[in-house]
Chain A
Amino acid sequence: DTGVSQDPRHKITKRGQNVTFRCDPISEHNRLYWYRQTLGQGPEFLTYFQNEAQLEKSRLLSDRFSAERPKGSFSTLEIQRTEQGDSAMYLCASSLRRLAGGANTGELFFGEGSRLTVL
Chain B
Amino acid sequence: AQTVTQSQPEMSVQEAETVTLSCTYDTSESDYYLFWYKQPPSRQMILVIRQEAYKQQNATENRFSVNFQKAAKSFSLKISDSQLGDAAMYFCAYSITNAGKSTFGDGTTLTVKP
Contact = CB atoms under 8 A, between A and B. Distances in A.
B107 A110 contact: no
Given A41-B107, A42-B107, A108 B44 contact: no
A106 B95 contact: yes
B100 A110 contact: no
B84 interface: no
B107 A56 contact: no
Interface string B1-21: 000101001000000000000
Interface string B100-114: 111111110000000
B77 to A, nearest CB: 15
Interface string B37-62: 10000011111001000000000000
B44 A111 contact: yes
B89 to A, nearest CB: 9
Contacts, number: 58
B45 A45 contact: no
B107 A55 contact: no
A56 B46 contact: no
A112 B101 CA distance: 18
A33 to B, nearest CB: 7
B66 to A, nearest CB: 15
Chain A residues touching B, range: 20 to 34
B106 A40 contact: yes
A50 interface: yes
B91 A43 contact: yes
B50 A43 contact: no
Contacts of A79: none
Given A42-B104, A43-B104, A45-B102, A106 B33 contact: yes
B101 A107 contact: no
23 contacts: A4-B44, A31-B100, A40-B9, A40-B106, A40-B107, A42-B4, A42-B107, A43-B104, A45-B102, A48-B100, A48-B101, A91-B45, A106-B95, A106-B102, A107-B35, A108-B37, A108-B45, A108-B47, A108-B102, A110-B46, A111-B44, A112-B43, A112-B44
Interface of B: 4, 6, 9, 33, 35, 37, 43-47, 50, 91, 93, 95, 97-98, 100-107
